[in-house]
Structure 1
Amino acid sequence: MESTARAIAEGDNALRVSDRIANRRDEVGALATAFNAMTQQLCSLLERQTHLLRDISHDLRTPLTRQRIAIELASDGSVDADLLASILRQNERLEAMTPRS
């Protein structure tokens, strides 16, 4: 069980305590079963967190892309160039905060 816990801590989230140990009818078996359930729940939470981050990043990137296109189109007109440059820099900072997946 200790080696499984260490491997999971190092990132191997697919590991579980073996059924041979988890099926024991003593405290060790109960602990192994609880450990496996906890590990499964943690993996599920990590997966949902990753999915949520991906969705949030996508939801931010879409309007940022539209804003960038609008700024670039407006930059060839009579709009204040300094203002457009400032908006574009802010847009780039926001884009940098949204990782691509």
Structure 2
Amino acid sequence: MHIVIPLLLGAGAVLGGLVLATDRRGAARWVVETLMNPAHDSAWALRRRYTRWGIEHPQMDFLRKAPGQVRTVRIWGGFVAAFGCGFLVVGVLALVRAV
């Protein structure tokens, strides 16, 4: 049973990393906009709301940095996929050695 754990972790990491690295269906943008955005709102709604109030949102620089953060999330997705490949190799070696 303990041999299966690296295989499952590796497969999950590879799939998750590839989804982020390839930006499948906007996954990297979703991560940036929902998980990394301190306001959890769209840029248009934030600008409209704070312009109406006459103040600048304290995290408005996030909206200018968002495209760079999408690129960073995609790069880290590639690292996660490579890390997952390592787990898969370890799992396969353990499986072959056990048999």
TM-score normalized by the length of structure 1? 0.37
Q: Which has the larger radius of gyration?
A: 1
